[in-house]
């Protein structure tokens, strides 16, 4: 990992991490790691194998042996394109549940770090700057109010042609926030060396511009 430029973006669900990280990576010409996809894939693989998400040892074994391929924007699980499937609300809830397990996080750690190839990497998740890439040159904690995040998620679902209930989404986000912040290993929080960026009243372009400006200053 030495010598590779790394920008780590952490934050709660629906804060815009993925959209921002992808745009920044494109501008910088860096690789992009969506760490949440690995937890979503683990939840989906467990579900397909008939493994209960509460079964930590079994879920960890699945995480360790995931047959995953990231192919030009597509995400393949055992050869099946699951790019859209892992973005469902139910799998998102499962991902938050299995991500609370220490054994699962340890199983996915090396896989995440393997993405740090030259010239650089933009990684988004919950513990990119604190655990996975503590050597990152820039660490950002991206957030927004629960109301704003719920409305964003609601609009995403509507745009995909799915049914959505704003109040249910709000309750789910709050539940995920509490679970992510309360877990024993790598809890979700702004760490001392991460810059806070509240996106509640900012457009995607404004957030990307801010992140790129901070990156230029740091490097």
Distance CA 122, CA 22 (A): 8
Q: Are strands 74-77 and 68-71 parallel, antiparallel or unpaired?
A: antiparallel
Phi, psi of 52 (to 5 degrees): -65, 135
Is 12 a known ligand-binding residue? Answer: yes
Is 50 a known ligand-binding residue? Answer: no
Residue 193: CB atoms within 10 Å:
11
Q: Give 39-49 pLDDT, tens digit per residue.
A: 999 999 999 99
Is 11 a known ligand-binding residue? Answer: yes
Is 15 a known ligand-binding residue? Answer: yes
The DSSP H or E segment spanning 141 is strand 138-143
Query: In this model, does residue 22 exceed pLDDT 60?
Result: yes
Provide the CATH number for the domain formed by 5-209 in this structure: 3.40.50.300
Q: 19-23, 116-120, 149-153: lowest mean pLDDT where?
A: 116-120
| pLDDT grade for 183, boundaries at 50, 70 and 90 | confident
List the chain domain ranges.
5-209
Distance CA 105, CA 103 (A): 6
Query: In this model, does residue 166 exceed pLDDT 50?
Result: yes
Is 14 a known ligand-binding residue? Answer: yes
pLDDT of amino acid 50: 97
Concatenate the DSSP letters of all residues of 146-202 into one string.
Answer: HHHHHHHHHHHHHHTT----HHHHHHHHHHHHHHHHH-SSS-S---TTSEEEE-TT-
Distance CA 47, CA 60 (A): 13
Q: Give 134-163 pLDDT, tens digit per residue.
A: 999 999 999 999 999 999 999 988 998 888
Q: Give 51-79 pLDDT, tens digit per residue.
A: 999 999 999 999 999 999 887 778 999 99
């Amino acid at each position: 990992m030495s010598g590779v430029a790394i920008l780590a973006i952490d934050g709660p669900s629906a804060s815009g991490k993925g959209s921002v990280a992808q745009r920044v990576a494109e501008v910088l010409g860096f690789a992009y790691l969506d760490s949440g996809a690995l937890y979503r894939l683990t939840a989906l693989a467990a579900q397909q194998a008939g493994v209960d998400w509460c079964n930590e040892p079994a879920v960890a074994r699945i995480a360790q042996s995931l047959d995953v391929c990231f192919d030009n924007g597509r995400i393949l699980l055992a050869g099946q394109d699951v790019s859209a499937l892992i973005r469902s609300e139910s799998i998102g809830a499962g991902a938050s549940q299995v991500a609370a397990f220490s054994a699962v996080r340890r199983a996915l750690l090396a896989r995440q770090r393997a993405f740090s190839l030259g010239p650089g990497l933009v990684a988004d998740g919950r513990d990119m700057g604190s655990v996975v890439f503590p050597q990152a040159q820039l660490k950002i904690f991206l957030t927004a109010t629960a109301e704003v995040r719920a409305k964003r998620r609601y609009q995403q679902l509507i745009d995909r042609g799915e049914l959505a209930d704003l109040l249910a989404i709000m309750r789910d986000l709050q539940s995920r926030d509490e679970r992510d912040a309360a877990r024993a290993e790598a809890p979700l929080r702004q760490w001392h060396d991460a810059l806070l960026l509240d996106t509640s009243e900012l457009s995607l372009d404004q957030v990307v511009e801010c992140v790129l400006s901070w990156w230029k200053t740091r490097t």
